[in-house]
Amino acid sequence: MASRTERARRARWHRGWWTGARRCPSPNHGARPPGTAVSLVVVHSISLPPGVYGGDAVERLFTNRLDAGEHPYYERLRGLRVSAHFLIRRRGDCVQFVSCDDRAWHAGASRWAGRDDCNDWSIGIELEGLEGDTFEAAQYRALVALVGALARRYPIGEIVGHEHVAPGRKADPGPGFDWARLGRALRRGGLALALPPSAA
């Protein structure tokens, strides 16, 4: 049986949907500005409730089905309309919510390389995790496979964290994310993508 990484390498694209991920379509998306090249990946971390892994709460949040009364933390998320393109679970399973040809609502008020509103030209990837906590080896492998697939389809040039495009407002994926490890894995895969200056 083929490994998850091997299956990811064989995966294909259909109108911005990657066959290496399970589809869970979100209504929270829009059109990218005409002529905008998708050149940035923004890495996030999320878990609901914070620090609890393995449930479907993130999927329910991104599809507007999260019951705010289910947990005290969810009350602060009431009425929130957000999404990311992908979620990578702790075991490396990948879920896609929005076509990469469309604009997901993941970065919010953001700025990178002198440009505002990173949602316009970026792909948002959520890692199931907690700011400051570490991430699993399977997640790094899945992230590298996904970024490789993205770089073969879109002119991706950089990977940054939410903390880099919204400093002071966001802190994910946080100090537990190993940018150096990601960089080494990307280079082994022949991907010469720029990382945040602090990751050098």
How many Å from the N-terminal Cα to the C-terminal Cα in the chain? 37
Catalytic residue among 6, 59, 75, 126: 126
Helix, coil or strand: residue 185: helix
Residues forming beta bridges with residue 171, ordered by sequence position: none
Dist. CA 170–CA 159, nearest whole Å: 16
Which residue from 85, 88, 118, 82 is spatially nearest to 100, judged by alpha carbons? 85
Verify whether residue 126 is a known catalytic residue.
Answer: yes
How far is it between the farthest Cα atoms of the chain? 47
Query: In residues, how long is the chain?
Result: 200
CA angle 129, 179, 158 (to 5 degrees): 105
| 171, 176, 180, 183 alpha-carbon torsion, rounded to 10° | -70
Residues involved in catalysis: 126
